[in-house]
Chain A
Amino acid sequence: MSEKGIGSSVRRSEDQRFLTGKGHYVDDMNRPGQAHAAFVRSPHAHARVKMVDTSAARKAPGVIAIFTGSDVAADKLGGLICGWTVKDKNGDPHKAPAHPILAYDKVRYVGDHVAVVIAETQAQARDAAEKVDVDYEVLPANIDTAKAMKGAVVHDDAPGNLCYDWELGDRAAVDGIIKSAHHVTRIDLVNNRLIPNAIEPRAAIGEYDSGSGHYTCYSTSQNPHVLRLILCAFIMGVPEHKMRVISPDVGGGFGSKIFCYAEEVVCTWAAKKIDRPVKWTADRSESFLSDAHGRDHVTHAELAMDKEGKFLALKVETIANMGAYLSTFATCVPTYLYATLLAGQYTTPIIFANVKAVFTNTAPVDAYRGAGRPEATYVIERIVECAAREMKMDPVELRRRNFIKPDQFPYQTPVALQYDSGNYGQALDAALKMSDYSGFKSRQAEAAKRGKLRGIGVSAYIEACGIAPSAVVGSLGAGVGLWESAQIRLNPTGSCQILTGSHSHGQSHETTFAQVVHEHLGIPYDSIEVVHGDTALVPFGMGTYGSRSIAVGGSAIVRAADKIIEKGKKIAAHLLEASVDDITFKGGEYRVAGTDKVKTIGEIAFAAYVPHNYPAGVEPGLDETAFYDPANFTYPAGIHICEVEIDPDTGRTVIVNWTAIDDFGKVINPLIVEGQVHGGVAQGIGQALLEGCVYDNDSGQLVTGSYMDYCMPRADDLPSLKVGMTETPCPHNPLGVKGCGEAGAIAAPPAIINAITDALGVMHLDMPATPEKVWRIAQQNRPAAAAE
């Protein structure tokens, strides 16, 4: 292994600029002549907009223009779209109510966009926005997910607030098995709504060049090409060659920056209208109100078992909150990214899932780190834990008994997916050892002497990454292909640029992708640079989400490298006066097999650009592009074990031990992969212990609208994490990689709730397990504990 090749913990190329304050985030940029936008947002969850009076605001200092929904309508802008069509069980496509860029008849959540004020400075824009007088007729708000189908109607064209009623599997068959099974465990749970909270707030700058008719949109997007497609083809009616989207350094996304939002549309559209660049940067309060939120499921599940604890059937019924409008990929999250994962790591032979997606007067809900898979894992790992307790079986043994065995791969689940590789028992063994699982009882006894309740919880998770292949996702309703592109450009003096359609906003692609090319082409690591995030530079791309970048984007890079190698062989054969078939390539050297005749890849690149002595019929240049469409998803999996101590007097839960054993297939950079696990686990701990988006059920006001009320995980909330890995390579991509970005957020929540309920001696507790909730349960159970 090279010092900087695949498998090496290379220190990151990105860090120099981030550590010295030289990053370039959207808000760091200013365009000549730029004006500033501020949005007038609805203070009501649901209201009719009777009149928007902008006359006072127009007179405020510095105001350049004010636009409302009627201006948007007059210019015939399309609305925001949802790019995945899910079919209702009756065969109809999901209900897709209009999602206007600026509201014109009704507002449907607190924070909904009503108007935009553009002024010389940001402060002036905000000052003037307060002077826009909107006359609202307040309507009843529909907030509660569980009751949404009986609440006030959000959209007239979605009766009963139902977006779709979707099914996977055979309900009657599953019901039959449940009816006759030896034991059935039933559970009702809530997967709490979360607010993503990337630390960089969203931002956009729109720019228009009236000389060329070109638009430029600087955006905090995770997928600039997809944003360009939506802006051009669906909203603005501009051809793609007249639109450039640039996503420079982006400060975290976690899903929330996948989507096309009203603000970036408005800035781009308004730039032409006022013939000046228009900039908008969210403040955190706006982020809370208007970023797409995550999760928000209410679920009932039933697991049937025989007397040995073998899983016979699983039934899951979920209500999923879509919010007030459908965000870009909202519909696929609680269906194809959720129900298809309900087999988990187990051989459950038959599964039925029913998902009802509902509209409410809350911010749109879409993919957030894990997107559907954390919700699936939470259902499975909670119900399996409860089943073990009800059956009085060891929860670890029950899991092991039902695992898919290593010799069963490829394994076809009853919920459409075919798992490609894995060894779940091996990961479990490693996790039990690392966590000293067998020593838990003595640690528990020691904690009891200190008056603390100690519990342990296991989570066996699976995820599906690199969602693919395009033909399959197309048949399931996706409006896009889910391939990735890469271009590798060697320069005449041997340095190299990788242009990737993936987008790094914390994932460290500039380092790992360079490692891949260094390994494959033998070009010195420091001579390689990764270029991403600009539709004018990168051929095409589908962006970064769903832990897809290394599995799909990385594979595209390998394919492009293969093309470089092959073309180089023809040039080398000519220069070395040998047959192409006799040329070997290794470690950056073309060699005539069995001789010491060698040309380095740098020499070949030079020859390709200065083709004075060059093979006939070969094009000059050494610059290759590849598109990669995977054959299947990848299936990372693993075991996380959490150990908690609870102070029964206050209900405060402290995580005292965290063990993560993950199988990501081949790992390019262990240091970076571990970092992804740490971050994912922290978000999972946040969901389980701290975070929960709360709207007031009557008024629809966002109660958790700032860090004063929305509880972000801080350093002292989290433990030091023990992380290890097992490796079953992915058999269908050239790197053998599976993806690692979401694993922690998927694995963590049930491990924590299993540990807390273990400590408290109860079956269930809904997230987040706040001190007060835990205290109340500890109080109820105290007499029993005292009697022991």
Chain B
Amino acid sequence: MPTVSMTVNGKSVSADVENRTLLVHFLREKLALTGTHVGCDTSQCGACVVHIDGKSAKSCTILAVQAEGAQVTTIEGLAKNGELHPMQAAFKENHGLQCGFCTPGMVMSAVDLVKNNANPSEQEIRDWLEGNICRCTGYHNIVKAIAAGAKAMGR
């Protein structure tokens, strides 16, 4: 079995994996970072979105071995010193989550949007979320939360 090494949430990690091990399974099973979820098998639902080298990506569609040497950030790495990231806080304030299952991917995707577009319009937010499916919220409050989170990140 090959050994794969990368930096996850600022910590160097290393583990033996099969070549076929997906990054999401490496995170969940080898590192016990179970905040990153799997909701589909066709790379569409986005529950598994993490940041790889600063960009959002679907960890269910990347082999762990492909992430060799990468900087990976998961939902567990977003809050700093016990303080919610502004995007996380905005999701709470605007009731942008219900069952919570799509939420980690949704938040990680939203943070990447704001990195690319500091002040997204409602339509830009809705378009960006093409790769994140939520079955609970009807997206209404997610869109509100991301707009508010973008403002807060700009402060």
Q: Which residues of A come within 8 Å of B, CB atoms? A: 11-12, 14-25, 27-28, 30, 123, 197-201, 249-252, 254, 283-285, 505-508, 671-672, 674-675, 678-683, 706-708, 712-716, 718, 720-721, 744
Contacts and interface: CB of A to CB of B under 8 A. Distances in A.
Q: Which of A19, A201, A508, A718 has the most CB of B within 10 A?
A: A19
Contacts of B38: 27, 201, 283
B97 A18 contact: yes
Given A123-B20, A199-B101, A284-B40, A19 B133 contact: no
Interface string B33-56: 111111111101101000000000
B69 interface: no
Contact of B127 (A285, A505, A716): A716
Given A20-B88, A718-B140, 19 more contacts: A16-B92, A18-B103, A19-B79, A19-B107, A21-B76, A27-B37, A199-B39, A199-B45, A200-B37, A254-B135, A285-B41, A675-B98, A675-B141, A679-B138, A682-B137, A682-B138, A706-B42, A716-B130, A720-B122
B137 A678 contact: yes
Given A20-B79, A21-B35, A679-B138, A715 B40 contact: no
Contacts of B97: 15, 18-19
B93 interface: yes
Contacts of B76: 20-22
A628 to B, nearest CB: 25
B57 interface: no
Contact of A14 (B84, B100, B125, B129): B100
Contacts of B136: 199, 252, 506, 675, 679
Q: Which of A198, A283, A675 has the most CB of B within 10 A?
A: A675
B99 A200 contact: yes
B88 A708 contact: no
B114 interface: no
B143 interface: yes
Nearest to B125: A715
Nearest to A721: B140
A680 to B, nearest CB: 8
Contacts of A252: 98-99, 101, 135-136
A323 B122 CA distance: 41
Contacts of B26: none
Interface string B2-21: 00000000000000001010
Given A682-B139, A715-B129, A20 B75 contact: yes
B45 A505 contact: no
Contacts of B39: 199-201, 251, 284
Interface string B54-79: 00000000000000000000111011
A708 B41 CA distance: 10
B140 A720 contact: yes
B138 A721 contact: yes
Interface string B81-120: 0001000100111010111111110010000000000000
A534 to B, nearest CB: 18
B135 A715 contact: no
Interface residues of B, number: 56
Contacts of B18: 123
Interface of B: 18, 20, 28-29, 33-42, 44-45, 47, 74-76, 78-79, 84, 88, 91-93, 95, 97-104, 107, 122-123, 125-127, 129-130, 132-143
Contact of B34 (A28, A251, A506, A682): A28
23 contacts: A12-B95, A16-B84, A19-B84, A21-B35, A22-B35, A22-B76, A23-B100, A198-B99, A199-B39, A199-B133, A199-B135, A252-B135, A283-B41, A284-B41, A678-B141, A679-B98, A706-B41, A707-B44, A714-B130, A715-B134, A716-B126, A718-B138, A721-B138
Nearest to A712: B133
Q: Main SS of the interface on chain B?
A: loop
Contacts of A250: 99
A249 B143 contact: no
Contacts of A15: 91-92, 97, 100
Contacts of A28: 28, 34
A356 B126 CA distance: 42
B139 to A, nearest CB: 4
A681 to B, nearest CB: 6
B42 to A, nearest CB: 5
A713 B142 CA distance: 14
A16 B88 CA distance: 9
A15 B38 CA distance: 19
B45 A251 contact: no
A12 B134 contact: no
Nearest to A744: B138
Contacts of B138: 678-683, 713, 718, 721, 744
Nearest to A24: B34
Contacts of A27: 34, 37-38
Given A252-B135, A505-B99, A19 B92 contact: yes
A506 B99 contact: yes
Contacts of A22: 35, 76
B99 A21 contact: no
Q: Which of B88, B102, B135 has the most CB of A within 10 A?
A: B135
Contacts of A715: 125-127, 129-130, 132, 134, 139, 142-143
Contacts of A744: 138
Contacts of B45: 199, 284, 707
B42 A200 contact: no
B41 A12 contact: no
A200 B84 CA distance: 24
Contact of A708 (B33, B42, B84, B130): B42
Nearest to A676: B98
B71 to A, nearest CB: 18
A21 B104 contact: yes
Nearest to B98: A506
Nearest to A682: B138
Contacts of A20: 35, 75-76, 78-79, 84, 88
Contacts of A19: 75, 79, 84, 88, 91-92, 97, 100, 103-104, 107
A715 B106 CA distance: 11
Given A506-B99, A508-B98, A720 B74 contact: no
Given A285-B41, A721-B138, A21 B33 contact: yes
Contacts of A678: 137-141
Nearest to B44: A707
B118 to A, nearest CB: 19
Contacts of B28: 28
B10 to A, nearest CB: 15
Nearest to A20: B79
A200 B76 CA distance: 19
B98 A199 contact: no
